[in-house]
Amino acid sequence: MDTKAIEMHIRGILEAIGEDPEREGLRETPQRVARMMEEVFEGIAYTNHDIAQMFGKTFEASDDTAVVMKDITVFSYCEHHMALMYDMTVDVAYIPKGRVLGLSKIARICDMAAKRLQLQEKLGSDIAEIIAEASGSPDVGVVIKGCHSCMTARGIRNASAKTVTKTWRGEFRNDPELRNLLN
């Protein structure tokens, strides 16, 4: 990530909106924004395969239990407006095929996939793809609920609007009982 270029552009944005980048409260803003972007967009540096490899630690387990993790909190930025997607919770379920992921790895996968410019629908698909590869199971469901500041803070300004997306892979596509694990 080119933090020097980010600093230069943030300074330009400050000037373009009529601010003085030299005033006391803004002098270090370009550097702070560059550091923030380095952190919140860390996932851009990795493919889904890379993330699956990073967090693919599995343990032996039986095949007769579904793994369900709910209320994983993440945030991301919409690729259309670079607006914050917030108050997001991710629910993930998968059917193990002899191996289970370490539980913290599921949350780490969700977090890293969110650290990109995203669409909520794409985020669900990315998480499902990564979980499938990391766990070795094609049977994955992902439900994401979240607020989008492009809806709540600008445009329509509907502060109560929430977006819900559901991604089904493998057996989750055809089995309503499996999908109910995420209700």
Active site residues: 78-81, 120, 148, 150
Dihedral sign computed on CA atoms, order 148, 152, 153, 157: positive
Q: What is the DSSP string of 71-100?
A: EEEEEEEETTT--EEEEEEEEEEE--SSEE
Q: Of the candidates 123, 1, 129, which has an alpha carbon nearest to the alpha carbon of residue 53?
A: 129
For residues 124 and 175, what is the distance between their CA atoms, to the nearest angstrom? Answer: 18
